[in-house]
Structure 1
Amino acid sequence: MREEAFEIKHHNVVIEGERYFVAQATNTDIPEILTVERAVYDGQTPWDRMAFANELRRKLDRLYLVIRHNDQLLGFIGASFDDRSKMAHITNVAILPEYQNRGIGSFLIESIIKKAQFIEYKSITLEVRKSNITAQALYLKIGFEKTGIKKRYYFGDHEDAIDMTLDLSKWRGGYRGSN
């Protein structure tokens, strides 16, 4: 069942009337993923090339998706999956600033949610910067709840992280776009 869930065939999707291309991330996507990180994180790359390469090698417990428009990588999402706890964790999600608020982030998050549901996981967790009110609002809208704070979590500025959890037994969401 896990193999089916993690087998992502690249495909086109329509989100809010725009056509995009979704695929499982590969090593050839890493330079563009880093470009997205720089655009989102004020020139910084929280994860470097090696960190992404290591994640992409872990095909049994990691899933990374990229989304493109006119062959430009607009965003990505990554998640880890723990069979023992039946919990997934969103490790990264980033969308180029000029493409935010177009439903792309919601689509990617809900793609991970659907994969976790398919393999009968209980919950999905993530961390978000305390100052990132926009992302918090998106996660709350999707159905995540604030479950704690990690003090001085982020490297560099030591900003606190807010832990958020989505209980998959309660999630009745559904993305408004179409495949």
Structure 2
Amino acid sequence: MTIEKHIVPVGDQTYYVSRALITDVPEMLAIERAVYAGKTPWDENAFKTELRRQSGRFYIVMRHEDRLCGFCGCAFDDRRQDAHITNIAVHPDFQQRGLGHFMMQTMIKRAAYLNYRTVTLEVRYSNVHAQQLYTALGFEKTGIKKRYYFGDHEDAIDMTYHLPEKATNEG
């Protein structure tokens, strides 16, 4: 999977979008620390393992003036025709500017291009802002995973976006 346009306008700024590389991991961890009160839900090895996978994974990063400001990862499952958002984070300095929306739309478009049926994710029960973003994009709450998150055991809300079925017969 490739990225066609690297320079993209989001809001009143332009950002450089590229596929995430192993060299981006330290900055990705720094964003997690900034977002999650000094903690990193994913460690360095988890990110590196995901980025080394040869197929079924797609991670993007967004930069502004060479500063990493957000990233998003997705696992594409051909068998289930599901694109599962594995991770998304935007540095607090860049939140509320449309970056999360842009990255989620990018993954939804990829899933549609692949003729997938769904895009799924889990979100913390307490993360109301993210839930609002996902709902605005068309995701529906489809369940609860009790004590899902490592460490604090907070519940997760399962959310699903149903992609429209493509017409197979135009006539």
1:79 counterpart residue number: 74
2:117 counterpart residue number: 122
For 1:11, which of 2, 6, 26 is the aligned residue? Answer: 6
Cα RMSD of the aligned pairs, angstroms, is: 1.0
| Matched position secondary structure for 1:126 | strand
How many residue pairs are counted as aligned between the two chains?
165
- Flag the structure with more relative contact order, 1 or 2, with Cα contacts below 8 A and sequence separation at least 6: 1
1:66 counterpart residue number: 61
| Matched position secondary structure for 2:39 | coil
Uncovered stretches (5+) of structure 1, i.e. residues with no partner: 1-5, 171-179
Kept in 2, the 8 Å contact 1:9–1:23? The answer is no
1:99 counterpart residue number: 94
1:90 counterpart residue number: 85
Q: Take 2:42 and 2:116, find their aligned partners in 1: how far apart are those partners?
A: 26
User: Which consecutive segments of 4 or more residues in structure 1 shift more than 3 A?
Assistant: none
Note the 1:1-80 alignment, pairs <5 A: 6-9=1-4, 11-80=6-75
Q: Is 1:154 the equivalent of 2:149?
A: yes
1:23/1:10 CA distance change after superposition, 3 Å: farther
Q: Take 1:10 and 1:143, find their aligned partners in 2: how far apart are those partners?
A: 25
The TM-score with structure 2 as length reference comes to 0.94
The residue type paired with residue 126 of structure 2 is: S
For 1:164, which of 159, 163, 167 is the aligned residue? Answer: 159
